[in-house]
Amino acid sequence: MSLRQDTTRLTDPRTGIQRQEIPVSDAHTVAGAAARARQAQPAWAALTPARRSRLLLRLADSIEDHADEYVAAERAGTGKPEAEARGEVEQSADVLRFFAGALRTGTSPAAGHLLPGRESWVRWEPLGVVAAIVPWNYPFLMTMWRAAPALAAGNTVVVKPAETTPDSALTLGRYCEEILGPGVLTVVPGDRETGRLLVGTPVDAVAFTGSTAGGLDVVRRAGLRRVSLELGGNGPAVVLPDADEDTYRALVQACTYNAGQSCASPARVITLRENYEEVVEGLAKAMAARSAGTDFGPLNNPDQAARYDRVLESSAAGVRHVGDIATRPGEAGGYWRPGQILADLPPQDPAVQEEIFGPVLTVQAVAGHDEAVAMANGVPQALGASVWSASVDTALALAGSLDAGEVWVNCHLEQTPELPHGGRRGSGHGTDLSVLALSDYQRPKTVTVRRPGPER
């Protein structure tokens, strides 16, 4: 096993200028982090739920107390606008507070006399050491989505942040060392090879959020160990003729949040033929009101910008409505891309079939509801979707037919820690958020005791 001494150059997405250079974690560093996590895990798991909860709440307090530091770290690697970064830091603290409370709830089947002369119950035990490999689109929030339930369940965690956005995770790691103790949460910055090295260490589970190709690589390397995957989406939004006029603004706002770099963002608008022209016009007007640089940030890195360019250049869209870019002085070299509305598309157009992961909405027309559902379900991904209609009965019927882990009605991309989030088919498997997420990081053990005396 070779030991690498590489470094990675971090770039400001708003300017394209190098901002920092940090070491890439090599095999020795990764193995050491996993070993420290293994050593710390028994003591962390042995804490009473009340004590573990108090420590996680103390960490949440620390995040809020040092919010400016986390916001600056988050913006450094992502280029997010101040309001987006601050909101996501607040959400991260809220996720941690939720799981600090959830770990004290009982989720096991009731104990009792289930076999003759026996008493039985179920213990939920941690898996051990969890490798959390998180993406660059929401570096801090996705770290918390993975780490908070794993820590709450009694595991220790080794976080591998995305190569371009390690800043907020490294900040978290420093505070975790002080508040939770050494080895409870460790951060190993690096590139894809660092992630492969981490999966190759004797961790007990892998929680991965990223591309389909990356997820398949994790599965191949993880073997029989527990794996939780969130692999992105290409979300449909079914807009019916009776949808509210505000639908267009809401869809464009959701599509351009984080420059469209959200796995559950709306991407493919599906209408009936009778309201197709109205929808294209409404979305075009709404997109014209939002500018990259003023209303949303840049794409994250050169590879992502090249992906956006490739898909848009190869699209055969007959109608294109392109938004504006309004950057500040010095930002001309950043990874800025405008919002776009694409219409008059062939069914197999690359902009429809591929996840662009940018501020783009395609619009397609169908004859009726059944065809709308078939088109919505006609791509490999199945993460998020939405239905827009004034008829609750119609909207709920369509929502029930859509193959997605999360479906919104007359809204999109609205989430809370109390509700589960996860994908199906090409979008992976596993659960983020809600009390259900705890089961991804635990395993049940049934204990049965023979009672003295005659069996009954």
DSSP string, 32-50: HHHHHHHHHHHHHHHS-HH
Beta carbons of 413 and 384 less than 8 angstroms apart: yes
Predicted pLDDT of residue 1: 38
Which residue positions in the chain have pLDDT lower than 50? 1-3
C-beta atoms surrounding 152 within 10 Å? 26
Of 139, 135, 150, nearest in space to 206 by CA? 150
One CATH from 3.40.309.10, 3.40.50.720, 3.60.20.10, 1.10.150.130 for 235-409: 3.40.309.10
Look up residue 270 and give its DSSP letter: E
Judge residue 450's burial from the number of C-beta atoms within 10 Å of its C-beta, 0-12 exposed, 13-18 middle, 19 or more buried.
Answer: exposed
Give the strand pairing for 291-292 and 324-325. Answer: parallel
Beta carbons of 372 and 270 less than 8 angstroms apart: yes
Give Cα 315 distance to the centre of its chain.
27
Known catalytic residue at 230: yes
Catalytic residue (one of 74, 84, 263, 331): 263
Express each pLDDT in 298-307 by its tens digit: 999 999 999 9
Catalytic residue (one of 230, 331, 355, 406): 230
Size (the chain), residues:
456
Nearest-angstrom CA–CA distance, 77 and 300: 8
Alpha-carbon distances, residue 186 vs 40, 170, 218 (angstroms): 11, 9, 20
Q: What stretch(es) of the chain map to CATH 3.40.309.10?
A: 235-409
Predicted pLDDT of residue 456: 60
Express each pLDDT in 2-36 by its tens digit: 445 589 999 999 999 999 999 999 999 999 999 99
Residue 410, phi-psi category: left (phi > 0), alpha (psi -120 to 50), beta (remainder): left
Q: What stretch(es) of the chain map to CATH 3.40.605.10?
A: 7-231+427-446
- Which amino acid, residue 38? R
Predicted pLDDT of residue 5: 53
Nearest-angstrom CA–CA distance, 274 and 366: 9
Beta carbons of 43 and 124 less than 8 angstroms apart: no
Of 97, 413, 436, nearest in space to 267 by CA? 413
Predicted pLDDT of residue 455: 62
Known catalytic residue at 193: no
Is the overall model pTM greater than 0.85, yes or no?
yes
Alpha-carbon distances, residue 244 vs 150, 210, 387, 389 (angstroms): 41, 34, 11, 7
Give Cα 62 distance to the centre of its chain.
23
Residue 236 tokens, joined: 């449909």
One CATH from 3.40.605.10, 3.90.550.10, 3.40.50.300, 1.10.10.10 for 7-231+427-446: 3.40.605.10
Residue 452, phi-psi category: left (phi > 0), alpha (psi -120 to 50), beta (remainder): beta
Residue 327 tokens, joined: 């950057």
Of 295, 278, 427, nearest in space to 359 by CA? 295
Predicted pLDDT of residue 2: 42
